[in-house]
Amino acid sequence: MVEVGERWDESLMSLSVRASLPALESAKAGSPQAVFFSNMMSGRLQVQDHLGTFLADQLGEAGIAALRIEAACASGGAAFHAGYSAVAAGLYDTVLVLGAEKMSDSSTEEVTTALMTAEDREYTGFVGVSFVGLNAMVHRLYAERYGLSEQQMAALSVLCHENGVNNPYAQFRKKVSLEDVLQSPYIADPIRLLMAAPMSDGAAAVVITSEEKARKAHVPHVRVLASRIGTDAFRLYEREDLTTLRSVRRAAEAAFAETGKGPSDMDVIEVHDAFTIVGYAALEALGVSEAGKSPLMVERGDFSLGRKPTVNTMGGLKARGHPIGGTGIYQIAEVFLQLTGQAGKNQVDRAKLGAAVNIGGVGTTSALTILEGVEQ
């Protein structure tokens, strides 16, 4: 992965190449047979599509299978799912999954417009609601329903910034206080600026191989226990229950049934806190908290470093940053670092199992990845 931030001196493709090289080198698996490129908005923000083959070519691998996967902010988890499925099916034994987004090439209005393509243009985008506005309506309902204070709704931002301090790849490596969050301006009431992930440039990559190939490479690696995608009604307002992330719940039910593991088995969880409300609802849908209780648990420190599960160990979307198409791969790479003992100052002791929850739309598409550490 590359450092997330406003990378004025790098292009979408140069970031992608820089993220791919160390992933391929450290995997020692040789040339990939296929590239899966995760990205959401390059067609609008860079006026550039056809990214899969573009990257394969820039890596000196023109000729191999290459394609791009899009599922809004869940593009990364979706691309991982595609790459994993292809290897699990026996089609390839080495694939590169790369996720990238470059948002600093465009104005805030352009990005706001582009992000809304995650929802229905004709009947949602039409009324002028922004993506943060949709989440704000869920935030209001959720806080109202469970009687949560603004402080509680802000607590996750504080936790993420604490953990982001020690992540060399994070966009923000500094703490914020509860007061900082509560004094930041509204961007769509009741969501304030510091309850939202920033706009970011970034790229992250992972290599997926067959088990046999991984064993022979003698490099740090993890086992993919599950990669599942769940979806929900496309338009937010057509859902019966607006504060439950059924897409996450569906992916979790499938993944836990497949692995025989449960939410309490997870040592680390990287959750999609594009807004604090999404992070809270995802933790609840995953089953680590009852409905309406996760803000209290974050406030109490139940998910901080030293506790199980540790949540957003490397800063989450809020502090690491949220390069849309890259985010899901950053999450998986961060769980990988934890399970292979390479997470530096934020290393979680004896981390064996980890989950990454990557969410697109307002909980419309969710990709859950469960990884297990392997004795090297």
Partner 1 sequence: MSESIPRAWREAKYRERLIGSKCSKCGAVRYPPRIICPKCHSEESEEVQLPRVGKLVSYTIIRKGPNEFKGQEPYAVGLIDLVNGVRVLSQLTDLSLGDIRLGMELEATLRRYREDSDEGIILYGIKFRPSLARKQV
**Structure-token match 């990287």, residue found:** 270
Pick from 90, 128, 260, 306: which binds partner 1 (CB under 8 A)? 128
Helices (H), the chain: 12-27, 42-45, 51-58, 75-88, 108-115, 131-146, 150-164, 178-183, 211-217, 246-259, 276-286, 294-300, 316-320, 324-339
**Under rule CB under 8 A, which residues in 148-187 are in contact with partner 1?**
185-187
Pick from 49, 126, 177, 211: which binds partner 1 (CB under 8 A)? 126
Nearer to partner 1, 140 or 308 (CB): 140
Q: Which residues neighbour 336 within 8 Å (Cβ) at sequence distance 6 or greater? A: 206, 222, 342, 371
What Rg do the C-alpha atoms of the chain give, in angstroms?
Answer: 19
Active site residue 160: no
**Under rule CB under 8 A, which residues in 231-260 are in contact with partner 1?**
233, 235-238, 242
By the 10 Å C-beta count (0-12 exposed, 13-18 middle, 19+ buried), 344 is classed as: exposed
Question: Out of 81, 161, 272, 322, which one is annotated catalytic?
Answer: 322
Candidates 34-42, 96-104, 105-113, 259-267; binding stretch for partner 1 (CB under 8 A): 105-113
Pick from 11, 85, 113, 340: which binds partner 1 (CB under 8 A)? 113
User: According to the binding rule CB under 8 A, does residue 144 interact with partner 1?
Assistant: yes
Q: Which residues neighbour 71 within 8 Å (Cβ) at sequence distance 6 or greater? A: 77, 78, 229, 360, 365, 367
- Shortest Å, Cβ 202 to partner 1: 22
User: According to the binding rule CB under 8 A, does residue 291 interact with partner 1?
Assistant: no
- Shortest Å, Cβ 337 to partner 1: 35
Tokens of 249: 């719940």
Residue type, 259: T
Cβ count near 369 (within 10 Å): 29
Structure letter (DSSP) for residue 207: E
Nearer to partner 1, 191 or 229 (CB): 191
Pick from 55, 72, 86, 116: which binds partner 1 (CB under 8 A)? 116
Pick from 15, 188, 203, 371: which binds partner 1 (CB under 8 A)? 188
User: According to the binding rule CB under 8 A, does residue 47 interact with partner 1?
Assistant: no
Pick from 129, 178, 182, 219: which binds partner 1 (CB under 8 A)? 129
Q: Please give the size of the binding site for partner 1, defined by CB under 8 A.
A: 36
Q: Which residues neighbour 368 within 8 Å (Cβ) at sequence distance 6 or greater? A: 77, 226, 227, 228, 229, 230, 248, 251, 252, 255, 286, 355, 356, 357, 358
Candidates 12-20, 95-103, 109-117, 343-351; binding stretch for partner 1 (CB under 8 A): 109-117
Nearer to partner 1, 194 or 305 (CB): 194
Residue type, 148: L
Q: Which of 211, 203, 257 is nearest to 230 (CA)?
A: 257
**Under rule CB under 8 A, which residues in 341-360 are in contact with partner 1?**
none
Question: Out of 73, 160, 221, 272, which one is annotated catalytic?
Answer: 73
User: According to the binding rule CB under 8 A, does residue 88 interact with partner 1?
Assistant: no
Contact call for residues 212 and 94 (beta carbons, < 8 A): no
Cβ count near 240 (within 10 Å): 7
Pick from 16, 20, 38, 124: which binds partner 1 (CB under 8 A)? 124
Candidates 86-94, 199-207, 228-236, 354-362; binding stretch for partner 1 (CB under 8 A): 228-236
User: According to the binding rule CB under 8 A, does residue 278 interact with partner 1?
Assistant: no
Structure letter (DSSP) for residue 45: H
**Binding site residues, partner 1, CB under 8 A:** 108-110, 112-113, 116, 122-130, 133-134, 136-138, 140-141, 144, 185-191, 233, 235-238, 242
Q: Looking at the annotation, which residues are catalytic?
A: 73, 322
